[in-house]
Structure 1
Amino acid sequence: MNAEVGRGDGEYLVVGVDGSEPSLRAADWAADEAVLRGVPLRVVYAHLWDRYEGSALARDVERPAGPPSPRDIADAGARRALARHPGLRVTVEVVPEEPEYALVREGRHAAALVVGTRGRSGVAEMLLGSVSLAVAAHADCPVIVLRGSHDHQATPPVHGRVVVGVGEDVKDPAAVRFAVAEARRRGVALEAVRAWRCPARESIDHPLVTGEPARLHEERAAEELETALRDVPDDLRVYRRTVEGYARRVLLDASHRADLLVVGARRREGHVGLQFGRVAHGLLHHSACPVVVVPHREGDA
């Protein structure tokens, strides 16, 4: 393979592979994304992952004699990427470490990190695997999790739309900035969604003012949406949607018409466990399209 990629923020894209077909499809998708960004692709295999047998191991993994070596698995991911884009610069890294730790470290200076979906206990690709979930919860860079029917491709667009969920923290819309950049790279529209709810206790007000509390909540949601979109370039087509309902359900519905669904995740120093809320957790398990988790650390500008 080619020479080592230079380090530095945003200089390359990382994809994690494990020898399964979903992970090699992630290499396909990551190759498209790397070409869109004009950066090299780094294929990483952490060889303490489970060894797979039978149909769980992708046919593209070469097995010259007995079980494949860690290098065989990593090279299979690189071959898939190069078959898709022969001119792409691809490097391979084999790491003797647990995958969640290795990939989080690899993502520290990456533009983004791509992982596939591989569930356990007979529900492969229905629920998110533990490694992908852990990486999305702890990485310092945006993590792209390939859920849904992405057709193994980042381009050309299928639906012609990137959707971003706008949360309450609109003063630092890192997720919006990422979504804007992705929409512009793809030449598609951006759909910004702000879900809102009217507390149940406010729905039984005096008949003469029925609907007033709901109107105020909707207006506040629209204002928050505009604040989050204040720096969006004028040349990007943007659809603004405020929708009454739980954010998880609203965004899951939106995922059916999106090529990419982008959400934010706040990182807290010293916090252990999954560092995103219930909305992102639900989307990672059930979205109909790839999901991007964009981290923001408290105190960052």
Structure 2
Amino acid sequence: MELPVVVGVDGSEGSLQAVDWAAAEAERSNRALRIVHASLWEHYEGVRPRISADRPSEQVHAENLVATAQERVHSLAPGVKVATDVRPEDPVAALLAEGTEAALLVLGPRGHGPIAAMLLGSVSLTVAGRAHCPVFVTRGESQAGAPTYGRVVLGVGGTTGSTSAARFAFEQARSRDCELLAVRAWNCPPYASMPYPFLGGAQETAYRRQADETVDRILGVVDGDYPQVTVERKLVPGTAHQALLEEAAGADLLVVGAQRRHAAIGLQLGRINHAVLHHAPCPVAVVPEWSDGAHPEEQQAA
């Protein structure tokens, strides 16, 4: 059975944007859509629903939220099958549980109340750092429907042998009929570029060549499966987060990988992903890349 797209809603403007993106993604991928609201979200994001005489106020508020989101999906993508769920638990726990049986999770960048002053809401940040499936965070002003810029940007990492993020980026480019831009930053330490007699600039060339080889290795595993996708490569001297933020300014989507370790506790994002989630001018997809090369469910089935 095809796994659904899951979107978390809390009534904020950001979550409505997430609903639009989730509807478009479900329509493109021919998947069902689940709209989820955790009933304890109010305590985290500062929402205080009105009191109802016949039912608990939180229940009324939750039912109204998911019903409104469902109507929005029906108007945007009438062919998408939609289910809704109100879960009486912490929003992070609810969304992480949903992520174990989802193709991807779609979240808004921030919620209600004091948390809205932050660059990224606590729920979205925590879920992006712990989910077992790809997580979309709908940053920026890019529209959810037809591509605005015609480009998906992939941040090519080199910490694991996983190609999960690359494959996800290719699939997104294919479904959107977009170009894929693969970006790899390289940085030569200051001492390595100094004109010592025995170096002669060779170290700087070596660092660039290593970055080029990393892109070759990652793309070489995946690009043969997507011959219809036009791929551009870009090696950028400097820091990775700066390079990705600059390229994301002209993109419909930025895709980054996040290394996961089975025994680790807490966020598993890394400083580069933190930076792009807080500052990217376009939506960001965080794709888990398991350090041992296998998803937990795949290991259990083996």
TM-score normalised according to structure 1 size: 0.88
1:210 shift after superposition: 3.8
The C-alpha deviation readout for 1:79-103, integer Å capped at 9, x for no partner, is 1111111221111000000000100
1:298 shift after superposition: 2.1
1:163 shift after superposition: 0.4
CA distance in 2, matches of 1:235, 1:80: 32
1:44 shift after superposition: 0.2
Match in the other structure for 2:5: 13
Q: Is the 8 A contact 1:191 1:238 kept in 2?
A: yes
The C-alpha deviation readout for 1:227-280, integer Å capped at 9, x for no partner, is 111030332100001111110111011110110000001111121111111001
Match in the other structure for 1:24: 16
CA distance in 1, matches of 2:180, 2:289: 21
Structure 2 residue 228 is the aligned partner of structure 1 residue 235: yes
CA distance in 2, matches of 1:202, 1:218: 12
Match in the other structure for 2:263: 270
Q: Which amino acid aligns with 1:34?
A: A
Distance 1:51 1:169, change over 3 A: closer
Moved more, 262-271 or 36-45: 262-271
CA distance in 1, matches of 2:114, 2:42: 15
Q: Is the 8 A contact 2:180 2:230 kept in 1?
A: yes
CA distance in 2, matches of 1:94, 1:123: 22
CA distance in 1, matches of 2:92, 2:65: 17
1:299 shift after superposition: 1.6
Match in the other structure for 2:297: none
Q: When you count helix as a share of all residues, which structure comes out higher?
A: 2
Return the match for 1:183 from 173, 183, 196: 173
Distance 1:63 1:52, change over 3 A: farther
1:281 shift after superposition: 0.8
Structure 1 segments, 4+ long, off by >3 Å, are 51-54, 61-68, 119-126, 207-210
- Map residues 65-214 of structure 1 onto 2, 5 A cutoff: 68-118=60-110, 124=116, 127-151=119-143, 153=144, 155-169=145-159, 171-206=161-196, 209-214=199-204
Match in the other structure for 1:299: 292
Distance 1:98 1:122, change over 3 A: closer
Return the match for 1:285 from 275, 278, 287: 278
CA distance in 2, matches of 1:135, 1:208: 49
Moved more, 84-93 or 204-213: 204-213
1:184 shift after superposition: 0.3
CA distance in 1, matches of 2:174, 2:51: 41
Unaligned runs of 5+ in 2: 295-302
Q: Is the 8 A contact 1:111 1:142 kept in 2?
A: yes
Q: Percent identity among equivalent residues?
A: 44
CA distance in 2, matches of 1:211, 1:156: 46
1:208 shift after superposition: 7.8
